[in-house]
Amino acid sequence: MVAGELDINDILKLVPHRYPFLLVDRVVECDGESHIVTFKNVTYNEPFFPGHFPQTPVMPGVLILEALAQT
């Protein structure tokens, strides 16, 4: 694994996932072995919001788990 910070272009080179199932936007910390901190910017424009509790939008739990797996 690459250590340091990664932007979306670096991430796209490392993982096969693409929109809408790429759930990591940025890596802010990575030691290359056992520690990583990532971000996923979630907006109201996400394709899952209209059908998942439309009155109170929430990111589906299975997608949260997938984001953790991609980390």
Catalytic residues: 52
Identify the three-state secondary structure at position 46: coil
- First-last CA distance in the chain: 11
Helices (H), 1-71: 8-14, 61-70
